[in-house]
Amino acid sequence: MNKWLQIVPLAIFLSLTSAARVAVAEGDETAFQTQYIEMKPSFVTNFGQPGNKKLKFVKADVSLRVTTRASADAVEHHMAYLRNEIVFLLSSQAESAMISGEGQETVRQAALKSVNAFLRKEADGAMVDDLLFTNFVVQR
């Protein structure tokens, strides 16, 4: 009998929490989990000061973190423009910004700011929560 006193409350608790999760899932059609959108293919561009005889290249893989369906849809819809913004941002960087960790973080933040500025203007305020360099290779 003692064993049943322990099992019954646990079974009741589990069934109530399961029912609550199902009710939330069925009732909330707008529920959205964080999504990472990979910007494929990789970004490959030259960078550095104009007139420099030696070309320098960067290869970067970028993922965008969004937390709303509207933001995910806006990113997918405007992907070509967002890629263009990032290519021009990367190609305009000085070598010093591309080879140091601090410089790469500054570039990452500038890219996030640029992406969000465009989305605020063109996509009714959709936002990217974060921009991640998942790979960053510099050849100089």
Do residue 80 and residue 64 come from a single domain? yes
pTM for the predicted model, two decimal places: 0.76
Do residue 25 and residue 49 come from a single domain? no
CA distances from 78 to 32, 43, 69, 129 (A): 20, 16, 14, 16
Domain containing 90 — which CATH number? 3.30.479
Each residue of 60-94: pLDDT tens digit? 999 999 999 999 999 999 999 999 999 999 999 99
Query: Which residues touch 95 (CB under 8 Å, ≥6 apart)?
Result: 47, 48, 49, 56, 140
Q: Which domain holds residue 48?
A: 35-139
Q: What is the mean pLDDT of residues 96-118?
A: 96
- What is the pLDDT, as a whole number, of residue 94? 92
Do residue 94 and residue 112 come from a single domain? yes
Do residue 96 and residue 125 come from a single domain? yes
Do residue 26 and residue 78 come from a single domain? no
Do residue 116 and residue 57 come from a single domain? yes
How many structural domains compose the chain? 2
- What is the pLDDT, as a whole number, of residue 115? 97
